[in-house]
Structure 1
Amino acid sequence: MGSLVEALRAAGCVFAEEEAELLSGAARDEAHLAELLARRVGGEPLEHVVGWAEFCGLRMAVGAGAFVPRRRTEFLVERALELVRPGAVVLDLCCGVGALGAAVAARTPGGVELHAADIDPAALEYARRNVAPYGGRVWEGDLYGALPAGLRGRVDVLVVNAPYVPTEEIGLMPPEARDHEPRISLDGGPDGLALHRRIAAEAPGWLAPGGHLLIETSTRQSPSTASSLTSAGLTTHAETSEDWHATVVIGRA
């Protein structure tokens, strides 16, 4: 274990001891451990290397080419859980590996009718695994275009972590993100909010009466995100957590 920790420290891994334990736990044998170590030292995200990410106390399947769910997004899940009811229709749009929807479903007594949608087929392979324990259905396509017509006007809680990084700021992101996560999961367009506007504009047609849209954004961008929801006819407010370093804009139909 000592040499493993030393190799991780030399590669700049701050939590080398913890990472060494996770790599050892994921390895089938010594040869596999050496392979995993080489991938991590080469800069791959730890979650890609071990094949899972912790999110809301759950293990979410992830892997190469998939966006790793961020811990700050747990704040969005907490806000959604305040609004969801047993049996509610929950939609995780721009779902990536389906972490938001799976977490909401897992923590709702009595369960929900869960749907998850994304345009990235690679991410959806993991999403299917993550939402399956909750009976979730996965749909592939561009935003609402992925969804069956029968969902229109039925969604009680719509959770969204769409890309909101401005295109020219992607180069400032940590190498683990910019080099190993798909650009489509990071790039929010010139001002970062291109998808937010599209999602907000069509949301009223998919939300049930009294349904809610919750969308993660940055504190700096939150007034613009909120404006998009308000322009779509939703009653809107923003919530920020200093502990999570997270901001969520919430709109009610």
Structure 2
Amino acid sequence: MSQRAAGRQAGIQTPLQECGPSAPLPADRVLGSGAVLFPGVFDQHGCPLVIFPADGQDRLLELSKAEVVDFINYFHALFNRKYEKQSLVSVVVDLRNASPPTPKFIMESLLLVQEHKRTIHSVYLIQPKKKDVVKPLLKLLNLSMSCSASFKTILLREIPELWNYIDRSQLPASLGGYFLYCHRSWVSFIKEIHAFVQEFLSVVQRLPSCISTLQALSRLPLPSSFSELQYFCCTNEAKFLQLRRELGLDELLKTL
């Protein structure tokens, strides 16, 4: 099985292009929390899904809204660069067992995402079971609809209603789907790819200078005597090895 195929089974989509130095990888505490996910699945509009799972909501409230916004923006930008297109994301929020602060935290985070530029296509909300959570949620939905940074919001009473908008092959088991997702594997994969990309960019930045040095060496006249030729080869081999160290090829290969 190829690495790409194996990655898909773990809920991984290979990011072929990075987000650039202006977009650092989200912090370990955010990636590892499992409170917000970007597993590489899609709704019926073809929008990649951001998922707020029910079992991560205690950890979600330990994060800041800014961290949630940065997470969504990072992976949204990564997706767009990989596929070389501008796609919106859709969001699935499982509020079945949510506590009162959770819907407010999530909705305000999503509004912050949308405030900068239009990023979110649709938000699928699975209705809370607790009545003291439902009423504040409805007020939040009315508020979001009145904002200029609005997005389409779909309130669902039960999980099966979600399947009208997202194929079950694109949903994890917690949402009644068949998609195999391992969060630990996803985090490990993302961090490995990020490390490789950063090392690759570092090599690319140093490459022009190294090429210029090699071109200068190639134009040197060859010595006429054997002893001078030995010295010439020894000296230039040392320069070549120094260039290799400066370029960082060995470090890059270690990340493969």
Bigger relative contact order, structure 1 or 2, given CA contacts below 8 A and separation 6+?
2
Between Structure 1 and Structure 2, the one with more strand by share is: 1
Higher-Rg member (1/2): 2
Does TM, scored on the shorter chain, surpass 0.5? no
> TM-score when scaled to structure 2?
0.28
Between Structure 1 and Structure 2, the one with more helix by share is: 2
